[in-house]
Structure 1
Amino acid sequence: MDKRQVNMSTMISRSISFVALLLSGIYSYQVQAKECYFDKINTSTVSAGTLVVNNYNPSSTTPVLLGTLSAGEYGHITCNTGNDGSDFYGRSTATSGTQYDSYTSTSGSTKYSYNRVFFPTSIPGIYYNIYIANSINATYTAYIPSNTSWTREIDNAAEGGFPVGLYIEVWQRGVVSSIGNGEAHPVINGEVGRFKAGNEDVSSQQVVATVNASSFTVKFATPTCNLSVSPTTIDFGDVGNDKPRKTFTLKNSNCVNASGVTLKLTSTKAAYDNSGLSILANTTTGTSAAGGRGVAVSYEGSSRQYLSANDTNSSVSIDFGSIVTAKDITMAGLLTCTSASNNSTCDDYTPGAFTAAGTISATYK
């Protein structure tokens, strides 16, 4: 009986030793350290092509994502055993004209919150940000933060490596009052931010975002309106030596991205008034035609501006103040003199029939 007890004791002892060894193995695995870093880094300036914006609300004050461009692969994340850590970090290196908002990461077990930065473009109200992500499935997304110090952005638990790319998000972040020539480009020329993995601060293991005016283009629809004239004919009636002025309206309708217009005047027949302005001349011929008279065309804005017919250097530029969908412009025709005048009357003219025609062209911005 005693012998059996001794054998049992030995068996229990061995079981306990086995469990202890098993626990020791589990414990050793759990505390194994990991470090990650970027390699195979693309050091070229960002080149992401063109984003065409077909629909947006220029008067919106709510931030709206207009689209995303890919700049391609910019490196590879590699993870090994080590002590430098694996989380993603980012920092901004440009702050001029920027905006920011609060963002919470969507990757990793711990969701870090930080402010992501938006950089200006050549069109006020249009901004962009840059983020790095797994270029295979867009996971592990981290934006350039507004902070110029290293900011932890992703709790990286990836066991294996994967390629990473840079991406451009284009945003409307305020009222767009003008699109200029219809294209937006980055206005900052140079480095705007960088990313790293782990705590090791080695420049050769960091992905750097560098931009210039050619890095990408945001293309908006060409500014345009449907242009019509009301009335299409001005009837001065029967006049003597007086100089009547009558108004008409240029009606701009169904406008797209139009924030202003430049007007020019052409005519198949023009003459000069007594001040040297090219005016619309009488197209009626024969013995019944009036002489010494013509029509001067003007924009009736806060100050009157005349258009000189067939003069490539003569134009009137009108700012609408914002992007509009419709705009009426008040114009006028003045039946004036091609001969001597005392400013209020035409003193040397030939009575008769008078007809004149002109074409107003419009270039929108």
Structure 2
Amino acid sequence: MTPARGRGEIDMAQIRRDGGGRPEAGAPAHEILLYGWLGTTAADEPHRPQDSNDAIVVRTEDTGPDIARAFRIGTLEVATVTGGRVDIEPLPAAHQWRGVVLGYLVSGRLTVEQGGHVVELGAGDFAFYTGAQRYRITAPGPHEYLVVRIPTAAIALRHSMFADIVATDLSETPSAGVLRAILAELASPRMRPTVAATAHLGDAVVAAAHAVIADARPAGSAQAMSLFTSLVIWLEGHLGETDLSADRVAEAHFLSVRHVRRVFSAHGTTVSALIRQRRLERIRDDLVDPRHARTPVHTIAERWGMPDAAVFSRAFSRQYGTSPRKYRALYLLQGQAGADWAPPTPVVVSAEDAVEEVA
């Protein structure tokens, strides 16, 4: 699945009236609006920059950044961006995207600022930041940068639980090497994830990100998270039961329902949301498992506690961007001619049109 993109040069005076800041003295003066470059399909392509959740203002001295590759791995959105000297901030008038952004610098130098923190990245370094709070990214010259957007449902942590590590140096955390290796592979132009592997790669990125976040948090945080972990493990062992709920979890662990809900809320999710996510992951795995190639989709869904075909189909499509039947078909077609993805040609928006859309 490849996103459509829109790009245009605009008069930033209009945006600044909506709350944006003026560029600092000495910053590149040529300004470009880039939007629709992440998380968009032809069906939901934003017609206006403020309708997108990835609109950014790029101040640069050249033609602006180039989206070399863009693809999805499971629920994650990935793009490789190349450019020169840039000064980037989110478009003030656009929708906020509230997940976690993981940036990995392939080459060059780059600085990430957010929440009073500033981190300078060299080749091979990475940093977290979030779309729920304004950020700034600057590069003094040519660079290549991998952007991975992780939705809140996947990271399962409130912003307050990692606010102290956004835009910070995490290179010395014990788990940093694992995450760095995965990101380096994703950034490789040779990397063409198959349909069968994409969701698992997404899981690997999220797991490694969680490990780094856990390493970076104060001592004792792991103990505070242990109850949540044990509850999740118990849920995963009972996903096939249709009556799974917060009440069942509370009863099985001799806890109050209110306390169970509070534990999940503290980790940025709910019992029902996590059950749905984990069930969809198990169904996804079975759909592409050769051992279940002849098993009807509805049978697999029922096996994992989702007997309502319509509800299941809608949930699966929201999670993975296509219907379960098409997802399985893409897996069967992988490797055949025409089955590989290729990024589309960017759509260039004229300066006049872009100003009118922002107004």
TM-score by length of 2: 0.21
TM-score by length of 1: 0.21
Structure exhibiting the larger radius of gyration computed from Cα positions: 1
Higher strand share: 1
Higher helix share: 2
